[in-house]
Structure 1
Amino acid sequence: MDQEQILVVDDDEGLLHLLKMRLSAMGFSVTPCTTGKDAVAESKKRMFDLAITDLRLRGEDGLDVTEELLRNHPGLPVIILTAHGSIPNAVEAMQRGAFGYLTKPFDDKELKATIEKALAQQRMSREIQRLKSLVKELYGLENVVARSPAMQRLFQQIAQVADSDATILLFGETGTGKEVMARVIHTNSRRSKGPFVALNCAAIPETLFESELFGHVKGAFTSAHGPKRGLFQMANGGTLFLDEIGEMPLSMQVKLLRAVQEREVREVGGETPTKVDVRIIAATNKDLGEAVKNGTFRNDLYYRISVVPLFIPPLRDRRDDIPLLAQHFLKLSIKRANKEVKGFTPAALHRLMVNPWPGNVRELENAVEKAVVMSRQDMITPDLLPSVGVSPDAPLKPLTEAKEEFERTYLKNVLQLTGGNISRAAQFAGRYRADFYKMLKKYGLHPSMTKGKPEAEIGEMEEEETAHLTEAER
């Protein structure tokens, strides 16, 4: 934790020196000033956590100095030093914004207790601001624009796992915002002050993979003219995001597995391994379970990186978010294009809502930006927007039908993510196991879809599972 900064004002240089020694011994960083004018000047240069000022300064009024300090930094705790006969003035100082006062002479215990009491309020204010910042990061428009039930469930899961060091695997189609979610997880973790390092595994040639991830020493290969740090070393103390991990060649997967297991890496050409403190977040738009069956992805690596699997729903399954996202991207595009566009016509908004958006959020953002650039009016009209695969006049599906379609897709995805493990799937979905079985039965799904269990088995498993449930779970 950084040292808390205290500004001390007293025209008695002996007392000023003594206060500096005492406060420094308590672990604070102290800025001493012999005049109120110097103190006010210092307060304009930088922030302080606390100020201590004598009530009587040579040629200056400590009350005026207090007001000046508070004018520069509203909410700054100011402690007044006063002689016994000046207590009424100290009370007046508190009425004018000071936190409290100390009567001379005072001992170290009294000084420390008063300071701690004043800083407790300041520390709480900072903590509240920090929490507000986290909430804004998690739910605000700056990073994730989402109000749909599907995304709110995802946010709840992220809030639960963000502050752990558990390895996370993000599943989602191209354009759903996997890197944004990875950054949200990092920002809301205890590693938020550390680096966030991202690698797109699909963009690295196989011959360069090992060097990119682990680094190399000088002379390790022909073009290694000097040493190079790898991404693991660069992410030390923070988060390493491996996007499109399903594209990683098999030759690298075994080396990545060791790095993930041991949390140590060996540079290309190096002799000794180096320990790294890195959290891994991986992402894919592939079915890694199928890739394991096909032999293109290692089974042991799959289980190592999918400790906590999170599914990011496609835009078509979170249509409630489309108007919010469209308005957000509209504001950004207007600023970039320096154009005056007020919004979308109802017909344009309808087209946005019924479009299937195979490219998801990224496609929507590009469509809105293009519409703003091409617009010659102050409103976005339907002709400026894509209509791929759907007529702009096509009616929205009835709510019941749309809900059932989402639930069926969601259940399939949860089963896929958990490998058919009902306990994990039910916990993931936030449902009791008995309720989860009923939902599977409703849509004709079974726990091990890829293994082809007959639908009749669901009833048998449901009865068997229900027999073990508590009364509350039933």
Structure 2
Amino acid sequence: MDSVDLLVLCSSQPDLLRNIGTRLASRFRLLESYSLAEASQMVQLHRPALALLDLRHANAQRFNRAWALGQNVETTKLIVLTAPGELTEDRIPVELQGRVALVECKLPGENGSAILKCAESLLTGFTSVHAKEANGVRNDQIEQPSIAEKCRTRTPALQQILKRLEVAARHDVTILLIGETGSGKTHLARMIHESSSRRDEPLLTVACGALPGELIESELFGHVKGAFTSAHADKEGKFLAAGRGTILLDEIDVLTPEQQVKLLRVIEDGLFEPVGSNATNKVAARIIAASNVELQPLVNSGRFRADLYYRLNTLSFVIPPLRSRLPDIEPLARHFVNLHAASHSITINKIDDAFIAALVRYPWPGNVREMENAIRSAVIYSQQGILTADTLPPNVLAGHVDETNAGGSSEESEIAALASQLPSESLGNRMELTEKQMIEQALLNNRFSRTKTAEQLGISRVTLYNKMKKYGMMQMSK
């Protein structure tokens, strides 16, 4: 699929826009709309390859407006979300036959894989008109893009990793992803899931680092009523909730030795007991583990079990940081410019060479996620449709390294310079800064490590996680 394919996504439900948009963002440039009227204007103006319209529980008038949208722009094909049993193929106008795919879903984000397959089918010329065809009958006719094609990296080392990852994705084995915060581990986990035979099942994530140690087991394995003080009812854990899907264990390095023993049993035997129960359950889900740090040093220091490490390390992949992927910076930057310009309805006509040069020189301790945030900010502050270097955040501009400076790597010099300007006190001792500002600065100071940031601020990891969620800062860390 061409990287320039544009898709208009229309729904009055923010949850659907967010959940489905997340699934589609790696494959399309998205324009999001809350109304059919606005979506129609976008289609008329931009002539996208596809328009995805949420018509669940819609009345006849809305359906007629949707059909008119498709008829007015013959080059745009439609994916229509409906409630189960709500719309049949015979209600699609004859002139739109072959240009419309119907996908039944009840909840935001449901049937995401069917939507992707329908998109592939429509764009490659097949005339699938119902999700049932995308889910089985026509699967052999739809060629799925590889993980490498979705990532479109120009870095040879990463290309080789993605080729190996593609092979691993097709086999039912546990996979370990290691990489710095923001390097794309969660994104790759989703690609692994979507390239596997489990793609139509759930993908669930457990952020181990965001949970108090005593609650991680309950989150993973569930608990029975009365298992502990706040266990007022039985709770199903993520391993059961994932069914035959995939479960991503993020920041696996924070697990206690006791929790590591239980996880090892799950990986080796597929068995576990809910907290407070003697009933043994069988795990059907696939496990993808992720860590911000190399696990071997933790094994050497006794903080991580050697047997679990060797079990996980059978198929492990180290994701290179962005600073070692210089050929990818410009295409990634242009992708994010297009994405956020469309999202904020801003027209960008030119990107100055100095803007790209600044991105290439900066060491990106927060990796791809930090770069996306910087570019989103630059797009918002752009003037007259031009992206200049001075629209970038100050810390990115401060990353310009003098070529004659031989005092260490550019990354080390920049981090040291920034760290000298940032606070080391706890939150309570710096009232002149807002809480959000302090957290942002501390994250930068600690290379976006939540553990080190929490220590610097004098708060727990859970408190930091909750505050980041409160201030809409989750995109700043993994």
TM-score range, shorter chain: 0.5 to 0.7
Alignment partner, residue 365 of structure 1: 372
Q: Check conservation: 1:44, 1:72, Cα contact below 8 A.
A: no
- Choose which of 209, 227, 232 in structure 2 pairs with 1:225: 232
Once the two structures are TM-superposed, the CA of residue 266 in structure 1 deviates from its matched residue by: 0.5
CA–CA separation in structure 2 for the residues paired with 1:291 and 1:330:
39
User: Which AA in structure 2 matches 1:391?
Assistant: H
Q: Does the 8 A contact of 2:208 with 2:255 survive in 1?
A: yes
With 197-206 and 327-336 compared, the bigger mean Cα shift is at 327-336
> TM-score if structure 1 supplies the norm length?
0.56
CA 1:341–1:221: 2 relative to 1, 3 Å: same
Q: 1:389 to 1:191 in 2, by over 3 A?
A: same
- Where does residue 127 of structure 1 map in the other structure? 140
Partner of 1:195 in structure 2? Answer: 202
Shift of 1:343: 3.8
| Matches of 2:136 and 2:300, distance apart in 1 | 54
**1:139 and 2:152 equivalent?**
no
Match of 2:280 among 273, 296, 301: 273
Going from structure 1 to structure 2, the CA distance change for 1:246 and 1:280 (only over 3 Å counts) comes to same
Task: Select between 289-298 and 278-287 the one with higher mean Cα deviation.
Answer: 278-287
Q: Distance in 1 between matches of 2:269 and 2:304?
A: 20
User: Who is 2:265 aligned against?
Assistant: 258
Q: 2:90 aligns with which of 44, 50, 55?
A: 44
Conserved 8 A contact 1:265-1:274: yes
What is the CA deviation profile of residues 339-393 of structure 1, one whole-angstrom value per residue up to 9, with x for unaligned ones?
2222420111111112111111011101101111222231111112243664277
Match of 1:151 among 141, 158, 178: 158
CA 377–71 in structure 1, closer or farther in 2 if over 3 Å, else same: closer
Amino acid at match of 1:166: V
Tell me the alpha carbon deviations over residues 156-183 of structure 1, each in whole angstroms, 9 at most, x when there is no partner.
Answer: 1111111101111111111100010111
Paired residues in the alignment total 287
- The residue type paired with residue 44 of structure 1 is D
- Structure 1 residues 376 and 74: alpha-carbon distance in aligned structure 2, compared to 1, 3 A threshold: closer
Looking at structure 1, the residues matched to 329 and 276 of structure 2 have their Cα atoms a distance apart, in angstroms, of 50
Q: 1:69 to 1:243 in 2, by over 3 A?
A: same
Shift in Å at residue 215 of structure 1?
0.2
Identity %: 40
Partner residue in 1 for 2:28: none
Q: Which amino acid aligns with 2:177?
A: L
Say whether 1:296 aligns with 2:303.
yes
Q: Deviations over 1:301-328 (max 9, x none)?
A: 1111222011111111111111111111
* CA–CA separation in structure 1 for the residues paired with 2:231 and 2:270: 25
State the distance in 2 between where 1:165 and 1:42 align. 36
> In structure 1, which of residues 325, 328, 332 is the aligned counterpart of residue 339 of structure 2?
332
Q: Distance in 2 between matches of 1:274 and 1:123?
A: 30
Tell me the residue number matched to 2:383. Answer: 376
What TM-score do you get using the length of structure 2 for normalisation? 0.55
Alignment partner of 1:182: what SS?
Answer: helix
- 1:391 aligns with 400
Structure 1 residue 262, shift from structure 2 partner: 1.3
Query: Which position in structure 2 is the counterpart of 1:472?
Result: none
Map 1:380-419 to 2 at 5 A: 380-385=387-392, 386-387=395-396, 390-391=399-400, 394=403
Cα 1:71–1:322, aligned 2, differ >3 Å: closer, same or farther?
Answer: closer
Give, in whole Å, the separation in 1 of the partners of 2:315 and 2:186: 16
Q: Is the 8 A contact 2:349 2:386 kept in 1?
A: yes
Distance 2:295 2:366 in 1: 20
Deviations 1:1-57 (A, max 9, x none): xxxxxxxxxxxxxxxxxxxxxxxxxxxxxxxxxxxxxxxx964248xxxxxxxxxxx
1:72 maps to amino acid? Q
Counterpart amino acid of 1:276? V
CA shift in 2, pair 1:125/1:257, >3 Å: closer
Q: How does 1:14-25 map to 2 (within 5 A)?
A: none
| C-alpha distance 379-167 of structure 1, shift in aligned 2 (>3 A) | same
Q: 1:350 aligns with which of 348, 352, 357?
A: 357
How far, CA to CA, are the matches of 1:392 and 1:338 in structure 2? 34
Asked if 2 retains the 8 angstrom alpha-carbon contact of 1:167 and 1:306, the reply is no
1:225-275, Cα deviation, whole Å (9 max, x unpaired)? 111110111112011111111111223111111122111120111121011
Whether the 8 Å contact between 2:337 and 2:379 is mirrored in structure 1 is yes
Query: Aligned partner of 1:139: which letter?
Result: E
Q: Aligned in 2, Cα 1:295/1:343: closer, same or farther, shift over 3 Å?
A: farther
Map Cα deviations across residues 264-290 of structure 1 (whole Å, 9 max, x no partner): 120111121011112111111212110
Structure 1: runs of 5 or more not aligned: 1-40, 47-67, 76-119, 396-474
Equivalent residue for 2:408?
Answer: none
The whole-number CA distance in structure 1 between the counterparts of 2:198 and 2:240 is 15
**Change in CA separation of 1:71 and 1:242 when aligned onto 2, cut-off 3 Å:** closer
Query: C-alpha separation between the residues in 2 aligned to 1:294 and 1:139?
Result: 39
Aligned to 2:312: 305
Q: Which amino acid aligns with 2:140?
A: E
Cα distance in 2 for partners of 1:205, 1:42 equals 48
Distance 1:316 1:128 in 2: 39
CA contact (8 A) 2:201 2:246 kept: yes
Secondary structure in 2 aligned to 1:242?
A: strand
| Separation in 2, partners of 1:217, 1:327 | 50
Question: 1:287: which partner in 2?
Answer: 294
Q: Which SS does the other structure have where 2:206 is aligned?
A: strand
Q: C-alpha distance in 2, partners of 1:309/1:125? A: 33
Call closer, same or farther: CA 1:227–1:125 in 2, change over 3 Å: closer
Report the CA distance shift for 1:265/1:392 in structure 2 as closer, same or farther (over 3 A).
Answer: same
Which ranges in structure 2 are unaligned for 5 or more consecutive residues? Answer: 1-86, 101-132, 405-478
Secondary structure at the aligned position of 1:254 is classed as: helix
Partners of 2:250 and 2:88 in 1: how far apart? 47
How far apart are 1:69 and its partner, in Å? 7.2
Q: Distance in 2 between matches of 1:74 and 1:371?
A: 37
- Measure how far apart 1:123 and its partner are: 8.3
Alpha-carbon separation, structure 2, partners of 1:125 and 1:216: 41
Separation in 2, partners of 1:156, 1:230: 33
CA separation of 1:184 and 1:123: change in aligned 2, threshold 3 A = closer
Matching residue of 2:173: 166
Shift in CA distance, 128/235, structure 1 to aligned 2, threshold 3 Å: same
Distance change in 2, residues 1:332/1:73 (3 Å): closer
On the 8 A contact 1:240/1:278 being kept in 2, the answer is yes
Distance 1:394 1:356 in 2: 14
Partner of 1:37: none
Q: Is the 8 A contact 1:166 1:307 kept in 2?
A: no
